[in-house]
Structure 1
Amino acid sequence: MSEFTRLKFDIDVVETLSEAATAYDFFTASFDLFEDAVDILIQNVFRKDDYAVKYAVEPLLSSDGPLAHLSIRIKLLYGLGLLSQDSYQDIEAFIELKEFVRSDKESIEFISPSILERLKSIRAMSSVMPPSVYEQQPEESSHYIVKMKLEQSKNIIKSSLILAITDIIKELHKDTPLS
């Protein structure tokens, strides 16, 4: 993948995630972005012009094939050494987050303790999100100040998530010896 294509993809990732209004929309969009990035890598590695490879691999990757699901595809990439253990575990955590927010669609917030607790397990978040966000409780103050502080925390969390997801997707787009 050319540098220009990678840059455009990074911009698309940031734009897509920035437009998500709710945590549900955000984690659903991140799941779709991971699926797209994994699919590109899988296609680079397995979908060659060689007839034998194409004949054998094509059915495995189809929508009803055994490699159709993201969780199976990332296991394959991890097993082949094309995905680091940290990124593999982080993508798994994002898959779990998507499932978690699906049950509570509109009422779950980025700043909810259940989301924050799950974010602690994502290694890519440790390098981009300030630790103080996990413990941050707005002080007793006027309603407007508390609301502003909560909004600020939400923006920090969302921005940190965007950076973490972009870093993981960059790893999926690196050139590999198999592609």
Structure 2
Amino acid sequence: MSRVDALLEKLDECESATAFLQISNKIINLKLKTLLPNIFVQDDLVKEYAVEPLLKKDGPLETTDVISKLMFAMGKISLQTYADIG
């Protein structure tokens, strides 16, 4: 079972709106992190020394807010999608 599938199952078990929103945010973050590497230069050296450090657990692109701002600024998501995420 994928991490997203596991989170989707947890959504069904949520007992509060806060818990639901926290899990939803995790799912959005995982999906954005899946899409993000595809918008950078597709070069192995660039991926290893620039993209991977940006996306690592304690990297600057850890939060959904920062990732969605970057994707919106690069024209990869619409204003409506950006507003829905935020």
TM-score range, shorter-chain basis?
0.7 to 0.9
Give the superposed CA RMSD. 2.8
Give the CA deviation at 1:87.
1.1
- Alignment partner of 2:53 out of 53, 59, 68: 59
Q: TM-score, normalization: structure 1?
A: 0.40
1:35–1:70: 8 Å Cα contact kept in structure 2?
yes
| Identity in percent | 34
Output the amino acid matched with 1:61. L
2:37–2:51: 8 Å Cα contact kept in structure 1?
no
Output the amino acid matched with 1:66. P
Give the CA deviation at 1:9.
9.1
2:33–2:55: 8 Å Cα contact kept in structure 1?
no
Higher relative contact order (CA 8 A, sep 6+): 1
Give the CA deviation at 1:70.
1.4
Larger radius of gyration: 1
- Alignment partner of 2:12 out of 9, 18, 23: 18
Residues paired across the two proteins, number:
85
Q: Distance in 1 between matches of 2:18 and 2:7?
A: 16
Give the CA deviation at 1:46.
3.7
**Which consecutive unaligned segments of at least 5 residues does structure 2 have?**
none
Distance 1:86 1:53, change over 3 A: same
- Alignment partner of 2:83 out of 81, 89, 96: 89
1:47–1:54: 8 Å Cα contact kept in structure 2?
no
Q: Distance in 2 between matches of 1:47 and 1:20?
A: 39
Q: Over residues 112-135 of structure 1, what are the superposed CA-to-partner deviations in whole Å (9 max), with x where a residue is unaligned?
A: xxxxxxxxxxxxxxxxxxxxxxxx
Distance 1:9 1:47, change over 3 A: farther
What pairs with 1:63-74 in structure 2 (closer than 5 Å)?
Answer: 63-74=57-68
Q: What is the aligned partner in structure 2 of residue 29 from structure 1?
A: 23
1:48–1:54: 8 Å Cα contact kept in structure 2?
no
